[in-house]
Amino acid sequence: MISFSAGPSKVHDNIPRYLQDACDEGILSINHRSKEFMSLCRFTFDLLKRKLDIPGDYSIFFTSSATEGWEIIAQSLTKTYSSHLYNGAFGQKWFQYAQKLNPQTKGIAFDINQLPHPEQIEITDESDIICLTQNETSNGSQIPDPIIFQFREHFPDKLLAIDATSSMGGIYLGFQHADIWFASVQKCFGLPAGLGLLICSPAALEQARKIGDRKHYNSLLFMADNAAKFQTHYTPNVLGIYLLMRSLKDSSKIEKTDLKTKMKSSLMQEMLFGKLKQMPLVENAECRSDTVLAIKVDKKQWTKLAEIAKKEGFILGGGYGEWKEQSFRIANFPQHSKEEHKRLGKFLQVFFS
């Protein structure tokens, strides 16, 4: 069975081997204050920076999930309130989580077929942080790197926070263009769920110091004190960190992965939207995601498709939120090989013709 669900999704083929090694090497029982853990942690930070092109002066933190990232930003990095641009369910949920902690939080919705343009968006002076969802998993739209850069240029005094949960590790991201990035590993990292990453620029940490929040177990300053010693603020998912380290070690640099992801995506799109005359949920190709492809489908056809796909050994992603009844989704993550995409393509070709 191959899962093309948008997360949790298929895991890397090497996971069984890594798991066996973790057992053999005694990783499962190490203490998170031990030398062994500290060197695992340091090596993993180092690999993340090297493989994903994260600037050397950015700090990396382990969290339990991307959702935890939402909360840390609201409690430790937001002085007044955040402004959230969203066009789908995850961006909106982030806005709502932040609003619970900071009632003044602003939400600005935009269309799935339009790229947000910073000069057309009003962000109040008091709002000190702008939140964007780079890859909106619920509808398969994305905000390309040059747009994030435009936000950076247009709002130089505000922190930029980016949810890259379903794209980090799958496509090239210009980390230097934003201050806070986060993701979890069950999507493009091809790992079992239960670990998240939070990445902060020096400016973000400076803001955290000014705010001085230390009220929570996951207050960023407390996390930073621990991360500086290559430790964590609680007993972390050591196995998850080990699997991340092993898979990063075996992975190509992000520039190469990026090309592969985009190539697989265009092949699948050419087939679905060209040859098979299916309709993308996001009609404007400029805002269409490379890692999550959403295709229009009616409910009856989807029930049939999901059922037959399962018999053939494929798990496809259903629609999500507002688009639940009118779309299905195919994940295009690095762990999905070209051959697996071809096999899925053949199956879809039979189904839709």
Ligand X SMILES: *Cc1c(COP(=O)(O)O)cnc(C)c1O
Residues in contact with ligand X by CB under 6 A are 7, 65-67, 90, 133, 137, 163, 165-166, 184, 196
Q: Which is nearer to ligand X, 59 or 87 (CB)?
A: 87
Q: If we measure between CA atoms, which residue out of 48, 89, 47, 83 comes closest to residue 67?
A: 89
CB of 90 to ligand X, least distance (A): 4
CB of 310 to ligand X, least distance (A): 22
Burial 66-103 (b: 16+ CB within 10 A, else e): bbbbbbbbbbbbbeebbbbbbbbbbbbbbbebbbeebe
Q: Which is nearer to ligand X, 58 or 181 (CB)?
A: 181
Q: Which is nearer to ligand X, 7 or 345 (CB)?
A: 7
CB of 165 to ligand X, least distance (A): 3
CB of 76 to ligand X, least distance (A): 17
Q: Which is nearer to ligand X, 106 or 329 (CB)?
A: 329
Q: Which is nearer to ligand X, 67 or 337 (CB)?
A: 67
Q: Which is nearer to ligand X, 81 or 182 (CB)?
A: 182
Phi/psi for 97 (5° steps) reads -65, -45
* Separation of CA 173 from chain center: 11
CB of 161 to ligand X, least distance (A): 12
Q: Which is nearer to ligand X, 11 or 66 (CB)?
A: 66
Q: Measured between alpha carbons, how far is 224 from 219 in angstroms, rounded to an integer?
A: 9
Q: Which is nearer to ligand X, 76 or 291 (CB)?
A: 291
How far, CA to CA in Å, does 181 sit from each of 54, 58, 74, 198, 270? 10, 10, 14, 6, 31
CB of 182 to ligand X, least distance (A): 8
Show the tokens assigned to 256: 């190469």
CB of 256 to ligand X, least distance (A): 23
CB of 277 to ligand X, least distance (A): 28
Q: Which is nearer to ligand X, 184 or 219 (CB)?
A: 184
CB of 117 to ligand X, least distance (A): 21
